[in-house]
Amino acid sequence: MNGALLALLHHGSVLACAGPSALARVAGRPGVASRAARGAALRANAAPPVGASREHVGLPKSVLRRGGGGGDGGGAPSVAATGVALSGLPDRSRPFTVLGIETSCDDTAAAVVRSDGAILGESIAKQDAIHAQWGGVVPGLARDAHAAAVGRVVGEALAAAGLSSAADVDAIGVTVGPGLEICLRVGSAHAIELAQRHGKPFVAVHHLEAHCLMARLAARAAAPPGSAEQLPFPFLSLLVSGGHCQLLLCRGVGDYAIIGSTLDDALGEAYDKVARLLGLDVGGGGGAALEAFARRGNAANAPLPVPMARRKDTSFSFAGLKTAVRTRVGKLDGGGSEAERADLAAAFQLAAIAHLEQRLRYALRWCAEQRSAQADAPIGDAADNDGAARVPPLSALVVSGGVAANALVRARLGALCEEHGLAMHTPPPRLCTDNGVMVAWAAIERLALGHSDQAEGTEVRARWPLGAALEVTL
């Protein structure tokens, strides 16, 4: 039985999360929303029914594998729609600290981050070695490892920040989706319990929003204190991770539109699978292993075709490229020499990155076309729909998610941005893969805008698109 099938079987029996009770402890504190405001905000943020909405078209297989019951459409909660402090707010007249907790897939992570961008403490327990033998993440094993590690990891992050307990932070954020449902439930239940026990404002974090916003923290950290915001909205984001490959228009916190998705595999998933096909040791992560191995090869010795090179759109596809590697490996005598396999690794990487570049060029062209169509439209004709009229002028590209740690991806996309007069922002490599800092920071961005969620009854969302998908035609 292969890993993906195992994962599916394990995941098939998962049920939705039900958060425990007791909002009462925070209800009397200043900044806590009235019952009516809470009700209105909850309605505004209610998950639409499961259905064949466009948002689900083009989701990678890995997401379907990761998804289960409790799927919904929607998107990250819009701060504009729900800008209500359902569980109170920290004192925002001074820098405040947030504990972030992440358990959406195979990393148990926590961090304490201050609202001025200082990372005060972090801890992470990675599970690559646990899953390496299975050919993919096994949800049941991942859940058990999260449950065994989460208390220790949170304690280590607090201790690294010089804090003795969660009572010493000003708020708590946790990833509630998308991801593996049974894994999300571990972190979410832990965070809910801490928030209720210590009466802290609580933020339910969207994992993909956290990946995207991470670049804003990195930009702030790199800038001199007191300087203007380094990465203001709006910007274009390329999210390349283990479960997603998406191009996003990021118009504000909670305001995203998807303008490109993968038709099959996510890029990180393809890196992981190809690393296994090439017989690499994936105990420290398939993507990093493949990147290191590819440095020893020469792509010109075993060139691979760029996926969908003749297709003029913003969709991604990596399944064909992965199959091409499998076919080539199969033709090599005894699986090939190390040099031959390194050439294939280099060729895979080059073709995959060329594909990213091509899709990005189309996306930038489409954005420019939308902008000029808007400029030509008669005054008052601004569309109310979520389409053309809302493509803003873009000054930056953010590349985030685990694959953004890859040096060649960074270099090649950096050059493309320069060509287009765009600034490129990427988190530091170690903060591209899942971590607690991005969760704490996403919570800070929301708290700073006056938003918090009710811990009681918070449910995890295995499938949760970050925004609506726009029709992109060139």
Residues contributing to the site for ligand ATP (CB under 6 A): 104-105, 179, 207, 211, 241-244, 268-269, 271-272, 285-288, 291, 401-403, 405-406, 433-434
Please tell me the distance from the alpha carbon of residue 451 to that of residue 255, in angstroms, as a whole number: 14
- Min dist. Cβ of residue 271 to ligand ATP (A): 4
- In degrees rounded to 5, what are phi and psi of residue 123? -155, 150
- What is the CB-side half-sphere exposure of residue 179 using CA atoms within 13 A? 33
What torsion, rounded to 10 degrees, do the Cα atoms 98, 104, 105, 110 define? 10
- Please pick, from the candidates 102, 265, 434, 453, the single residue that binds Mg ion as defined by CB under 5 A: 434
Q: Which residues of 49-76 are buried (b: 16+ CB within 10 A; e: fewer)?
A: eeeeeebbebbbbbbebbbbebbbbbbb
- Which tokens belong to 134? 């299975």
Minimum CB distance to ligand ATP smaller for 312 or for 430 = 430
Classify 154 in phi/psi space as left (phi over 0), alpha (psi -120 to 50) or beta.
alpha
Minimum CB distance to ligand ATP smaller for 216 or for 244 = 244
- Min dist. Cβ of residue 64 to ligand ATP (A): 13
Minimum CB distance to ligand ATP smaller for 112 or for 245 = 245
- Min dist. Cβ of residue 128 to ligand ATP (A): 9
Choices 40-48, 187-195, 431-439, 459-467 (CB under 5 A): range interacting with Mg ion:
431-439
- Min dist. Cβ of residue 444 to ligand ATP (A): 19
Q: Would you say 386 and 257 are in contact if contact means Cβ atoms under 8 Å apart?
A: yes
Q: Is 269 in the site for Mg ion (CB under 5 A)?
A: no
Q: Is 246 in the site for Mg ion (CB under 5 A)?
A: no
Alpha helix (H) ranges present in 267-406? 267-277, 286-294, 319-331, 338-376
Judge residue 215's burial from the number of C-beta atoms within 10 Å of its C-beta, 0-12 exposed, 13-18 middle, 19 or more buried: buried
Q: Please count the residues of this chain forming the interface with Mg ion, following the rule CB under 5 A.
A: 2
Q: Is 241 in the site for Mg ion (CB under 5 A)?
A: yes
**H/E element holding 218?**
helix 207-222
Q: Choose from Mg ion, ligand ATP, none: what does 272 bind? Cβ within 5-8 Å by kind.
A: ligand ATP
Q: Choose from ligand ATP, Mg ion, none: what does 194 bind? Cβ within 5-8 Å by kind.
A: none
Minimum CB distance to ligand ATP smaller for 189 or for 466 = 466
- Min dist. Cβ of residue 448 to ligand ATP (A): 23
Binding stretches for Mg ion (CB under 5 A): 241, 434
